[in-house]
Every structure is written in C-alpha cells, then in structure tokens.
Amino acid sequence: MLCNVAGWGRQSVENTPEPLTIAHEAELHSMIVSYYLGVGSLSSRRDPNKNAEVATGPLLQRMLEFGTAEPGTSLTVITAIAIKQIHVLEYSSSRVKAIGCGILYSKLVSYEGEYIQSLRPMPFMNVFVFVLEDEKWKLFTHYFFGDQDAASRDWAYVSEEEKLAIGNLEEYMDTYWPCGFY
C-alpha cells in the first residue's frame, strides 16, 4: 500500500508497510477523518471556536483568525473523505506524525445548510502532526506537499514551531510523493 515513485526521478518506497503503519494505520485513519469532518462541518464553518474539538496550537489560532461566517454567505462543507495511503512516521503517547494522502469531497451550502452544488474532489497529500490534549488527539499542524514546487517555496512562511514539529519536508517529498496518486 506504499507509494512507488520509480520513474519520477525519486527514490522508491518498498511495498512492505512500515511497522508503525501496521500498528497504527487504523487509528491514524480515524484521526484524519475526524479532523477533516470536524473542521469541514457546517457548525464549525459557522463557529470557528468548534474547531478546538479537533485542532490545537498554531493551526487552531489561524482558524480562529478567519472569524465567523456571516448569515447570507455560502459555505464549503466536507461531506466525505477517501484516504488512499497512510504512513505513520512517529508514534508516542503524546504525539503522532504521519503522511496521509487522499481525496476530500465537499459541497457548497447556504449559511442555513441548504445544498447549492457539489464541488470538485480535492486531493490532499499532507504531513500531519497530532498531539494528545485533554485525552483527545488534535491536529497541531499539517502541511500539503502535493505540489512540490509550491511546498518548497511556501516552506519559508511556516513558523519555526511548526517546522520543528513537521521535520524534514524534503525527505518526505522525496520518499512519499506521489503517495498513491499516479
């Protein structure tokens, strides 16, 4: 279930799952799904404070800075997630780091929740860092590396705290890209 990027000028990842992935893949699947469905819910779109149920740290702070959606606006709501691959990189009793790749399905709705239209599926290829807070796993930070040029360029804008948590982005891009998409 691991990526094989031979032919892309990148190192190949073996088709043998890593021990941490074997042990914790189902748990990470649940954590990623809970995060996206939590932040992508209609109630979280209306009230960003609800994101504190699934996010923490600098990520939550950025979410709160966006403010509250106003009545009369249309909102994007995540309806489903298809996870293609997970690679657990680190796992402890207080912190988990993983690569997760998949597709987010969403729709545009009115502020009241009335359907407007389905939106194009959106791929994600992220490094996720979860921390245990109040006996619940919450996302501390994540970083999209599906567009490698943009990921390398925008890395300069990531806080030092988040860079430290994420680790060696270049290594992850070399090892895990394209993560099941090609």
Residues of the chain with pLDDT under 70: 1-17, 180-182
The pLDDT of residue 99 is 94
The pLDDT value given to residue 182: 57
Q: What Rg do the C-alpha atoms of the chain give, in angstroms?
A: 17
Residue pointed to by tokens 């009335």: 114
The Cα 54–Cα 140 span in angstroms is: 9
Distances from the Cα of 160 to the Cα of 58, 156, 163, 166, 167, angstroms:
11, 9, 5, 10, 10
- The model's pLDDT over 65-113, given as tens digits with 9 standing for 90+, comes to 988 889 999 999 999 999 999 999 999 999 999 999 999 999 999 999 9
Q: What is the pLDDT of residue 37?
A: 97
C-alpha span between 119 and 55 (Å, rounded): 24
What per-residue confidence (pLDDT) applies to 6?
30
Token reading at 135: 């006996």
Mean pLDDT of the chain: 88
pLDDT score of 146:
87
Backbone angles phi, psi at 69, to 5 degrees: -65, 145
pLDDT of residue 176: 84
Give 101-148 as a DSSP string: EEEEEEEEEETT--EEEE---EEEEEEEEEEEETTEEEEEEEEE-SSH
- Cβ neighbours for 2, distance < 8 A, ≥ 6 positions apart: 13, 14, 15, 16, 17, 18, 85, 87
Domains and CATH numbers, the chain: 19-176 (3.10.450)
Cβ contact 54:139 at 8 Å: yes
